Amino acid sequence: MEADTRTEVVLLACGSFNPITNMHMRLFELARDYLHETGKYKVVKGIISPVGDGYQKKGLIEAYHRVAMAVLASESSDWVKVDPWESEQEEWVETAKVVRHHHEELLMSGQCKDEADHVKKGKKRKLGASEGGVSERLLNTAVPELKLLCGADLLESFGTPNPWKEEDITEIVGKYGLVCVTRSGSDAQRFIYQSDLLWKHKKNIHLVNEWITNDISATWIRRALRRAQSVKYLLPEPVLDYIQSHNLYSPDSEEKNADVILAPLQKHANLSK
């Protein structure tokens, strides 16, 4: 049997997930199919990372509700899981730092596996100065690549200077890579062409065409819920049950943070002073 030489990949999706929809889950499936079809990659895990309350976006309900719904939505998947780390932070965390955190988690996991293998083989070594520091050993450990999974709207938001710092975009796209699932009406390829920064790292950006179009939007879902309209079959059934049992998404909840400046804009304003 030939060895599988494909590069292992972990897909990380960051966002509000307010609420998580069937389309959010479809992004993972579409991205995995695309990467597998290249013959170069093997997707081994998907991570859903809901943003914390510190993001302060208008209409953003409490993180524990959004995490709970994401967990319910991912129960039907054997490879997509929820990680609550970002949601548990008191202050908003830049996406680049979230990606960095999960990459470090992969490095640590790979190191633990590497050392466990040595134990099993009776070859556990004493760590000495000649083996270098922990960070050096971690970097030398083979781990899956981490790529940020997103829709075209996030990619195009790179063109807005306030939420994004150029160095963060460079780190996300240049060091880790991006898998972008395009929506109808967007022209991601043109956007990349028009950006010198994205064009420089275009080989690290994978554009996935969504041939079976699905324009489900969490914003539209919340609007329908506020108006007591059915959203059945647009959300995973357990998520819809959760929303109904907790009476989420009312006209009052949509006004939450209405008078608060979005955290990225606050941070940008403070740095500009």
- How far apart CA 208 and CA 154 sit, in angstroms, is 14
Q: Taking a C-beta distance cutoff of 8 angstroms, is the pair 73, 24 a contact? A: yes
pLDDT at residue 202, rounded to an integer: 96
In which residue are the tokens 């929820």 written? 82
pLDDT at residue 271, rounded to an integer: 57
CA distances from residue 4 to 42, 103, 150 in whole angstroms, order as listed = 9, 23, 27
**Tokens read off for 148:** 């940020």
In which residue are the tokens 């041939």 written? 211
Length of the chain: 273
Q: What is the pLDDT along the chain (273 residues), one digit of tens a residue?
A: 678 899 999 999 999 999 999 999 999 999 999 999 999 999 999 999 999 999 999 999 999 999 999 999 999 999 999 999 999 999 999 999 999 999 999 999 876 665 555 555 554 444 333 333 444 444 445 799 999 999 988 998 998 777 799 999 999 999 999 999 987 667 899 999 999 999 999 999 999 988 887 778 999 999 999 999 999 999 999 999 999 999 999 999 999 998 988 888 887 666 555
pTM for the model = 0.88
Dihedral sign for Cα 260, 263, 268, 271, please: positive
pLDDT at residue 216, rounded to an integer: 87
- How far apart CA 62 and CA 74 sit, in angstroms, is 19
Q: In what order do the strands lie in the sheet with 205-208?
A: 80-82, 41-50, 7-15, 145-151, 178-181, 205-208
